[in-house]
Structure 1
Amino acid sequence: MHSFPKPPRAIQLSGVFCLCLTLLLLTGCDKRPATETWKPRSTSGQVEHEQASAPIDAPRPLDHPVTGKLPARFVSYNLRNYLTMVRHDDDKKSMRSKPEKEITALISVLTKAQPDVLGVCEIGTQADLDNLQDRLEANGLELPHSHLCSGSDPYRRQAILSRYPITVSPKPNINFQMDGRNFQMFRGILDVSIQLPGGPVRFLGVHLKSKRKVPEYDEELMRRHEAYLLAQHLAKLGDHPALLLYGDFNDTKRSTSIRSITKHLKPLNLKDKDLSTWTHYWEYQDVYSRFDYIFVSKRLEKRINHAKSHIISSPEVRKASDHRPLYVEIN
């Protein structure tokens, strides 16, 4: 769903009205031709907390198919606080951005993977997203189209970056009640469609409540409520021809949260080069877990290159984040 300027107020003089209307029509269209040489950067422009009334169907094929090589490469990555926050250094607290050594490693990981579409968790503001795009572009990875998505968390958001234009769907319902109180999903549900060289794909991104204990509520119950809202949205989409769900689910595959999703989509069994499946490392407890997943619809699974899809593992990955990125090729 693209955002357009509001129409001008009624003007008495017809000549002025026509002029304003002409200008509106010229500026209201923000689509750009799909080519390999995009330079202008585009954002979705959607108001993050806007609640739309109805979902949209899968995008219609473009009049002129996008140009690009097959397979298309997709990476899902929890960036570990790519934002300004209180950080500890030698027992001192101060507001700082993500450490430069972590960013350098992160950019190295992504530029080696060369994704055509990149879905991320734990990004901060639009300025943080712009910073990430600038750094990637400076290192040879141009992803000029982007969309930033948020829920009730004022600091951590989701985003998707793409080589190809992004169409944003109406925002799914993210409101629920728990223990008699009103809540919103912390990071919402990112819902966009992208026309890839092999056909359109609808991408859904989530970052469910972490396992960190809090005094205000039961974190597991919160995560189950968020997963239930996601499952409701998946049910509304039905047997979608090309649906890919990704993100940090903060739970294991036998949990209630994950099982509510596998009723609708199939998880990809991704592994690293050593056949390990963990995606998150909790250093404090020395615990390795699989919290990050990619799920696909039945028909999209036929377009997945399973042999090339994997969990990215390298020394830079350990420096960049406490999560490992997931890599998938789509024909």
Structure 2
Amino acid sequence: MTSRIMTVLLVWFSFIFLSSAKEISVMAYNVHNYFVVPETEKPKGDDSKKALMGMIKNSNPDILFVVELGGEKSLADLMENLKKAGCKDYVFSDEMTGEDESRHIGLISKFRPVKVEKKENLYYKIKPKDRQDGYPEKVFVQRGFLHAVFEFENNYRLHVVGAHLKSRLPHPRYIQTDMRRYEARLLRYLVNQIQENEPEANILVVGDFNDVYSSDPMITLRAPEKSPENRLYDLRPVDRNGMAWTHWWHSEDIYGRIDYAMASSSLLPEIKFEKTQVVHLPEYWMFASDHRPVLVTISTENARPLGKETIDKDFPDGVCASYKTTDKKKNLAANGNPETLPVLFFDTGGYSIELPAERKKEIFEQVARNKADIFVFTGIKDAKAMDEIMDRLNGCVFKEMVEGADRESHIAVFAKIKPEKFEAMTDVKYKIEDKELPVSRGFAHAVFNVKGYKFHLLAADLKDRQQHPEYNQTDMRRYEARQLRYLVNDISKAEPGSNILVVGNLNDTCGKSPMKELYNRRSGIEKRLFDIRPLDPMNTSWTCWNSATDDYERIDYALASFSMISEIARDRTCVIYSDDWKKASVHRPFIVNLYCTDSDKPLKENLDKTYPYCIYSGEAAHFEEDMEIGDKPERNGPVDPVDE
């Protein structure tokens, strides 16, 4: 009788816990302050919730790990909204928090885990930043770690470990980078414990880790010093266009990768890479959150481990090397039309006649995607390179180059219409620490008159972000931007109400001081420059990929004067995208189309709405800065130095 009861119980538990799914998907998503009343005075808006449900429903993940969730009431609200959206198969939900009492970690699943472990009391010791010679203090992990174990048929076990590491916001007492590094170390210790207890464990570590892949916290997690079977491997999912970014920092217009999925070596052969991706829905993502979710698909059958040669080839430095796109459809920008004048800008990243033929081919394929009439190129090595480009641009009747102090990189302007005037401004100088320096690459100034419509085109390539042996490179760029602003002022004084278009690689993000110099927000509206901010077909604005950090930044700009802003054809102004953009340059070109007719000047209230802070917003949702409400530097006071 007893044995019969035990058999029934075993069958019953197997029915509850063991799943017959042959393939499962795990989504990690920062849902951006999913709070409800009364847990907060600023609940997540209904429109944002609807967009969030659209993002989740589109992928229909089997296991959903979320961060920036409120408490139990917020989790219940999220579950209710998922059901209303048609996601009715979730049978398990739980949440936890660490020291940050406002932002919790949540787990939602279509399968009941056999084990859930909440690491909410982990701590490390760190010295206050203002007392580096003092005693270390005990600091608890801000949001804790959540460890869930799932079991499937064929004895397949999956460990899912979720985390939300310390943000990059400054902490009042400790250095935030050190806090994140210590949290990553404790997370790595948890992975080590799992591997010690279960040497061939299938481990998936997911979450918002708030740092770039080359940072100390990420290297700590990957643990390249360990043997290959004990390392974690960065899966680096990409979207359908090959982009890996997961977070949009709107105040700087930077698209960065700070959300991760890392797998143990035992799990790697079961990853379905063709179904592992960063989820992007242009109509939803920016309204749902400032993050994009990461989706990992796994086969629930133990596969033969990958060999060392395969791992070394596919995961150099522990990071997936597959940068291929998953959608071969070309997203082409719209061509110009007779009613508009297309102006194209492209930083070629160093064009010379010695450039490989394949790269030249890709550069001109991108240029040919739009029938521009005026072309501005930066990164041109010399006059021979300019002549070669001229030969490849059909129909151009004008070419000029600005040969500044930097002899290796120049600005070149090409056009199918001759300008009334062209100035190669190479003698512009500024003072820094009482020494006079030239603007490194000068400025180009061309005046065009198209059937009575007159406009000034200014082109620049400001100081790059490489360190200078004597001066601060940011200050140098700011002074160069100021000289460019003076040039705009001179034109405006000589011709009040003039139409001015500024294009170029300005080598900084929109929130930094060089750009603030150019926007000139403190002046009257008629004296400002407005950031046109072209968008690509995915509603993103980045123009340059930083391979060192895996960030996608907007450092190439088109700025228009108040008099000209109404003459920008927004529906024909865009960043040009192609699947093979990296083969041409780390920069992407953009095109601005102009209605060559003087229009009525916009009303201030309309400009404030469309160009908040002088920057085109499009349909972007501008999120509030992430404030860590629950930061508590100490729970039990200072720790004695002998306390272990």
- TM-score of Structure 1 vs Structure 2, range by shorter chain: 0.7 to 0.9
Partner residue, 2:207: 247
How far off is 1:182 after superposition? 1.3
Map 1:149-164 → 2, pairs under 5 A: 149-164=96-111
How far off is 1:105 after superposition? 0.2
Kept in 2, the 8 Å contact 1:173–1:229? The answer is no
Amino acid at match of 1:317: W
Partner residue, 1:188: 144
Partner residue, 1:89: none
- Mapped partners of 2:74, 2:218: distance in 1: 30
Pair 162,197 (structure 1): closer, same or farther in 2 beyond 3 Å: farther
How far off is 1:298 after superposition? 0.9
- Mapped partners of 1:105, 1:173: distance in 2: 34
- Mapped partners of 1:271, 1:324: distance in 2: 11
Partner residue, 2:27: 75
The correspondence for 1:310, drawn from 261, 270, 277, is: 277
The correspondence for 2:171, drawn from 196, 214, 221, is: 214
Partner residue, 1:14: none
Map 1:266-285 → 2, pairs under 5 A: 266-285=233-252
- Mapped partners of 1:323, 1:109: distance in 2: 11
Deviations 1:4-62 (A, max 9, x none): xxxxxxxxxxxxxxxxxxxxxxxxxxx97646xxxxxxxxxxxxxxxxxxxxxxxxxx6
Kept in 1, the 8 Å contact 2:96–2:120? The answer is no
The correspondence for 1:176, drawn from 124, 131, 139, is: 124
Amino acid at match of 1:269: R
| Greater relative contact order (Cα < 8 A, sep 6+) | 1
Kept in 2, the 8 Å contact 1:247–1:294? The answer is yes
Amino acid at match of 2:100: D
Deviations 1:76-103 (A, max 9, x none): 10000001489xxxxxxx9121011110
Equivalences, count: 267
Do residues 231 (structure 1) and 188 (structure 2) align? yes
Do residues 258 (structure 1) and 225 (structure 2) align? no
Kept in 1, the 8 Å contact 2:160–2:204? The answer is yes
- Mapped partners of 2:170, 2:37: distance in 1: 20
Amino acid at match of 1:271: V
How far off is 1:132 after superposition? 0.7
Deviations 1:251-309 (A, max 9, x none): 00110000001113111021111111110011011111100000011111111101111
Deviations 1:219-252 (A, max 9, x none): 1111011011111222222234211100000000
Kept in 1, the 8 Å contact 2:31–2:69? The answer is yes
Q: Which runs of 5+ in 2 are unaligned?
A: 1-11, 128-135, 224-230, 300-644
Partner residue, 1:43: none
How far off is 1:171 after superposition? 3.2
Amino acid at match of 1:319: F
Kept in 1, the 8 Å contact 2:30–2:289? The answer is yes
Runs of 4 or more, structure 1, over 6 Å off, are none
Kept in 2, the 8 Å contact 1:119–1:159? The answer is yes
Partner residue, 1:134: 80
Pair 118,284 (structure 1): closer, same or farther in 2 beyond 3 Å: same
Do residues 123 (structure 1) and 69 (structure 2) align? yes
How far off is 1:148 after superposition? 1.0
Percent identity (aligned) = 28
Kept in 2, the 8 Å contact 1:34–1:165? The answer is no
230-239 vs 204-213, which moves further: 230-239
- Mapped partners of 2:281, 2:153: distance in 1: 29
Kept in 1, the 8 Å contact 2:118–2:146? The answer is no
Kept in 2, the 8 Å contact 1:34–1:67? The answer is no
The correspondence for 2:157, drawn from 200, 203, 216, is: 200
Kept in 1, the 8 Å contact 2:66–2:107? The answer is yes
How far off is 1:328 after superposition? 1.1
- Mapped partners of 2:32, 2:212: distance in 1: 19
Q: Which runs of 5+ in 1 are unaligned?
A: 1-30, 36-61, 87-93
- Mapped partners of 2:252, 2:159: distance in 1: 37
Pair 122,200 (structure 1): closer, same or farther in 2 beyond 3 Å: same
- Mapped partners of 1:32, 1:232: distance in 2: 31
Amino acid at match of 1:178: I
Partner residue, 1:296: 263
Kept in 1, the 8 Å contact 2:118–2:144? The answer is no
Partner residue, 2:288: 320
SS at match of 2:180: helix
Partner residue, 2:57: 111
What's the C-alpha RMSD, in Å, of the aligned pairs? Answer: 2.3
Structure 1 or 2, whichever has the larger Rg, is 2
- Mapped partners of 1:190, 1:268: distance in 2: 20
- Mapped partners of 2:118, 2:248: distance in 1: 34
SS at match of 2:270: coil
Pair 34,135 (structure 1): closer, same or farther in 2 beyond 3 Å: farther
How far off is 1:197 after superposition? 5.4
How far off is 1:194 after superposition? 1.5
How far off is 1:74 after superposition? 1.1
- Mapped partners of 2:293, 2:80: distance in 1: 20
SS at match of 1:192: strand
- Mapped partners of 1:81, 1:240: distance in 2: 36
Kept in 2, the 8 Å contact 1:281–1:289? The answer is yes
